[in-house]
Amino acid sequence: MKQEGIEERINAKGARCFGGEERAFVCVQVTFINL
């Protein structure tokens, strides 16, 4: 599953948690909930 558009949306939302894999996963979930 390639998430190109999803990543762009997450970055646009201001989810700056892509420093660690664990935190990134949590940030993705939170971002989707906020969508």
What tokens does 29 get?
Answer: 């979930």
pLDDT digits (tens, 9 = 90+) for 2-32: 556 666 666 655 555 555 566 666 666 666 6
For the chain, the domain total comes to 1
Domain that holds residue 9: 1-34
CB 10 within 8 A of CB 23: no
Alpha-carbon distance 4 to 17, whole Å? 17
Quote the pTM value: 0.23
Beta-carbon contacts of residue 9 (< 8 Å; ≥ 6 apart):
31, 35
Alpha-carbon distance 1 to 17, whole Å? 20
